[in-house]
Structure 1
Amino acid sequence: MKSTNSIGSLMHLPINEIDPGDGTDTPEFLIKATANILKEKGGRNWIPVIVKDIGKDSYQVIGNSFVYAVAEEAGLEQVWCIIADDNDDTTTLTKILAGEEKPKINLSIASRDEIMAALQYLIEQPNSELKSVKLALATNRIDEAPRLYWKNFEPITSLKCGITKGKKLDAFKSVFYLTPQSMPDTINDVTILRTMTTVELKAIAKKRGIAGISKMKKDALIEALS
């Protein structure tokens, strides 16, 4: 591996020493058309490719994959690159900064404004699965829900905010993730209890010593616990 002194350096690397990594899903026309312009305008990629060092005279693209694809199509022998470290977090951040990977928000602790901005982004996407969702209503109900304890996104479908199981929930999950905290043993808030599964409710009821829980349905469990 190269010295860490090379991290952050701008280097003119032979393209045959660079692995394309995940590549780009940019349409072939755009790659070919841009490659033609690159050759006409001097053949110098003024926007560098971001690479990490993976061995002796060996690198891998982690950002600006489109630029690399254009340079390869244009037949460049060398490409201007910036050297990044090989940390996985660096790769993720680089892809996000390069617009090649969608950033996500931690729904467990997200502010109301963050939730609204993310929902608005999803609603306004072409052919969005969430185009029928009412932004203010969905934002308020999700913000007020006990999402800090959610282990998955299923509770959203019970909020009556327009996000149902299937494609709508999948679209929602494309910009959010969860870092749930452990559910406290004593909960009296009906709002929180309604977001929990029957199994979770029975576990809490058992800890409290409530009798007859094996035959109780969800509504009865919530009533007993609240």
Structure 2
Amino acid sequence: MALFTENESLLDIELGRILRIPSKFVQGKSDAHPALIKNLAKQMETTGKNILPVMVELVSEDNYKAIENTQILEAAKKANLNFVWCIVINNQMLNQVLVESGKIIRLPILTALEKDIVEVLEYIKTQKYGVSTIKPKEAAKSIVEYRKKNKITSLNFLTKQRCGIGDKTLPKIKDFLVIADL
């Protein structure tokens, strides 16, 4: 059962549009706890649908990969729903979804205020393992001082700033502190 007419290409699918896609066409597995999946499935059995859409990537005709809200897909399949509401997105849109859902913070360090950098580093410190050595105030001050005198092209300079960010810590913060503006 193709979702496209003969005159449509799968490349014509509008990104960001909510679609009702047959569950069997969407692949993906959630790492959510089985109790959560079971609870969601019971809710969906009652309503007959999901309300929060699954974010999917188009792989090929009638083939989608769930990339966000995968617990909803798994619960919909467990509830034997024939269709699931989805939004087709690309990588750029996925970043926006992750920011909007609060799963990631992306702060552009070239323009960010020192206090904002401190806040993000404090957040990272409370959320991530292996970053307890970070000194948020010292790191933020180092970033602000460094960018006054140098063009920042990477975060590597932080490993030499005595701010608690070393070679092992740097990869854990690079998705939060970014060079380019959003």
TM-score (norm 2): 0.72
Q: Is the 8 A contact 2:56 2:88 kept in 1?
A: yes
| Residue 44 (str. 1) matches residue 49 (str. 2) | yes
Question: Cα offset for 1:98?
Answer: 4.4
* C-alpha contact 1:62 1:95 (8 A) present in aligned 2: no
Q: Show the counterpart of 1:144.
A: 145
Q: Which has the higher contact order (CA 8 A, sep 6+)?
A: 2
CA distance in 1, matches of 2:155, 2:15: 39
Are residues 1:76 and 2:78 paired?
no
Shift in Å, 1:79: 1.1
Q: 1:31 to 1:174 in 2, by over 3 A?
A: same
Unaligned 5+ residue runs, structure 2?
Answer: 1-8
Q: 1:8 to 1:160 in 2, by over 3 A?
A: closer
Q: Which runs of 5+ in 1 are unaligned?
A: 180-226
The verdict on how the C-alpha distance between 1:156 and 1:69 changes in structure 2, with shifts beyond 3 A counting, is same
Report the secondary structure of 2:47's partner residue. Answer: coil
Shift of 1:43: 2.9
Q: Distance in 1 between matches of 2:138 and 2:15?
A: 47
CA 1:173 to 1:27, structure 2 compared with 1: closer, same or farther past 3 Å?
Answer: same
| Partner residue, 1:210 | none
- SS of structure 2 residue aligned to 1:124: helix
Cα offset for 1:121?
0.7
Structure 2 CA distance for partners of 1:165 and 1:6, relative to 1, 3 Å: closer
| 1:83-121 superposed Cα distances (whole Å, 9 cap, x missing partner) | 44xx4322433344345x634333344332331221121
Q: Which amino acid aligns with 1:159?
A: Q
Deviations 1:176-210 (Å, cap 9, x if unpaired)? Answer: 2336xxxxxxxxxxxxxxxxxxxxxxxxxxxxxxx
Alpha-carbon RMSD across the aligned residues, in angstroms, is 3.0
State which structure, 1 or 2, has the greater radius of gyration over its C-alpha atoms: 1
Which residue in 2 is equivalent to 1:164?
Answer: 166
Partner residue in 2 for 1:12: 20
1:141-220 maps to which residues of 2 (within 5 A)?
Answer: 141-146=142-147, 149-166=151-168, 168-178=169-179
Equivalent pairs counted in the alignment come to 171
- Corresponding position: 1:97 with 2:100: yes
TM-score, structure 1 as length reference: 0.60
Shift of 1:172: 2.7
Equivalence for 1:131: 132
| Structure 2 residue aligned with 1:216 | none
Name the % identity.
23
Distance 1:75 1:11 in 2: 18
CA distance in structure 1 between the aligned counterparts of 2:152 and 2:35, rounded to whole angstroms: 44
